[in-house]
Structure 1
Amino acid sequence: MFRDLHYGEVPLLLPNAWDLGSALAFVTAGFPAVGTTSFGIAASSGQPDGDRASKAATAALAAQLGRLPVHVTIDIEDGYSDDPDMVADFVASLAALGVAGVNIEDSRAGHLMERGAVAAKVAAVKRLTPEMFVNARVDNMWFAEQATVDAVLQRAKVYADAGADGIFVPGALSAEDIRGITAGIGLPVNVLAQPTLTVAELGSLGVRRVSSGSLPYRCAVDAAVNAVNDLREGRMAPAATSYWDMQSRLEAFNTGASA
């Protein structure tokens, strides 16, 4: 089960895809679970992140990823609605596609939301789809609002009491902050990949899940620019997975063969 991956000897390293091609690449690389990145989905559709503009694209991608032979978790921003029942209905539609987990944020438009309203969404989801792994995101550190460990723990407790299965605290965090957060939360804690700490070091601090977030998407965009710059500046084309290998993955997926 997807839940079990949060209780292994090492943290679950979760790659975040923005389309089917990137997800198939992660599956081919041997990852047991794949998530989505709301930023990558929104950006590749020409929209900013976090403004509820990516709901349709997210649902369409979930319909594809639910067919993969790995666990899939979907980033649904704040649930795309203020109505807890509408959020729960949307998550139930994802469960019907084979999705095992969702991330739900406690912020919108760059600011924290009232935590009781977020807890109501979590509770509604768990009532309707109890088997869904709900990863409640606490955005104090991400948006630098009430950015203290105590404030994070207060919000995390409200979401845990509402039925959350995990707590996601994004942002560049110090080792001391991470240790304080994991020690104060009785659920698996998820953080983004950190610029100064390895996955193993994060595990030693009590982290149970490490997400790549939008990093792969941003790296892919950088790599695309660098590849064309190499050609423009007279260098040889960089090495890459062949067209034929990527084409065969898509053909296998579309004929129902294992990814």
Structure 2
Amino acid sequence: MTAEPTVTTFAALHHRPGAPLLLPGAWDHASAAALAARGFPAIGISSLAVAAAAGLPDGEGASREQTLALALILGSGPWLLSVDAEDGFSPDPGEVARLAQELWAVGAVGVNLEDGLGPTDRHAAKIAAVKAAVPGMFVNARTDTYWSGDGDERETLRRLDAYQQAGADGVFVPGLTDTRRIAALVRHLEVPLNILFSPTGPGVAHLADLGVQRVSLGSLLYRRALGAAVEAMAAVAARRAPEGTTPSYGEVQALTHLGGADFQ
């Protein structure tokens, strides 16, 4: 990809005071097109959805091929694409940089890389390698101190500082919902803070007031869709009509056109 204005636009979406980038997670072309048609300018790829669709575990480096395949499908769409690439699918910074180049080549403008609580210096080296190989790629550096760690504030700051210094364009702390700690991180950081939306945590408006500049949905939409499918089948089995929104056959067909369809 060579269109610098597109890249600049994606970065700019992280620098709108009071209006954080709300990033939905898609799992196929139809979900991405439907979300874009509802006005969301940027679309993320959910790593759990990609892995689960292929019958693979998430977070274990098993879905590199499937992630690239979906990025190839979505990278040319009329939206800004950011890819959740787990830890880069390799412990080798050079390999992660090559993955970033492949994603960039098919149209992705952002990548999310998680540390999985591995060595801080190794994750920082991956970030630096990606930025050296693809300077225009927006690197969102994730730490799992709250996701799978013990939520240690000092360790979180130590890791985020290292990732900032390595060249990360933004940092991501999934699992963090405490508003005091979120506000403290915003004051401390020099790059945008990304928080994972939680139905039981602070709402988007509250996160905006705290200074959060990106709110990701992660796998929430995929899990909701899966739950809705099971509930619909259970309703039919119980001789009841399924509740909720059901796009028509024609509306879904229309999603094959890159502009998408506007259904409620």
Query: Residue 167 of structure 1 corresponds to which residue in structure 2?
Result: 171
1:45 aligns with 2:47: no
Tell me, in whole angstroms, the C-alpha distance in 2 between the residues paired with 1:162 and 1:154. 13
Tell me, in whole angstroms, the C-alpha distance in 2 between the residues paired with 1:65 and 1:93. 13
Query: Residue 144 of structure 2 corresponds to which residue in structure 1?
Result: 139
Note the 1:175-190 alignment, pairs <5 A: 175-190=179-194
TM-score (norm 2): 0.92
Tell me, in whole angstroms, the C-alpha distance in 2 between the residues paired with 1:29 and 1:233. 33
Tell me, in whole angstroms, the C-alpha distance in 2 between the residues paired with 1:245 and 1:13. 24
Deviation at 1:164, TM superposition (A): 0.4
Alignment deviations for residues 204-241 of structure 1 (CA, whole Å, 9 cap, x no partner): 11110000001001101110011111112222233401
TM-score (norm 1): 0.93
C-alpha contact 2:231 2:242 (8 A) present in aligned 1 = no
1:23 aligns with 2:37: no
Alignment deviations for residues 104-160 of structure 1 (CA, whole Å, 9 cap, x no partner): 0001xxxx1000000000000000100000000011000024x22221111001011
User: Which of 21-30 and 123-132 deviates more?
Assistant: 21-30
Deviation at 1:82, TM superposition (A): 1.1
Given candidates 151, 155, 165, the residue that maps to 1:151 is: 155
Paired residue secondary structure (2:60): coil
Query: Residue 254 of structure 2 corresponds to which residue in structure 1?
Result: 248
Greater relative contact order, per chain length (Cα 8 Å cut-off, separation 6+): 2
* Count of residue pairs brought into register by the alignment: 249
Q: Percent identity?
A: 43
Deviation at 1:170, TM superposition (A): 0.2
C-alpha contact 1:149 1:181 (8 A) present in aligned 2 = no
Stretches of 4+ moved more than 2 A in 1?
none
Paired residue secondary structure (2:14): helix
Mark the runs of 5 or more structure 1 residues left unpaired by the alignment.
none
C-alpha contact 1:149 1:180 (8 A) present in aligned 2 = no
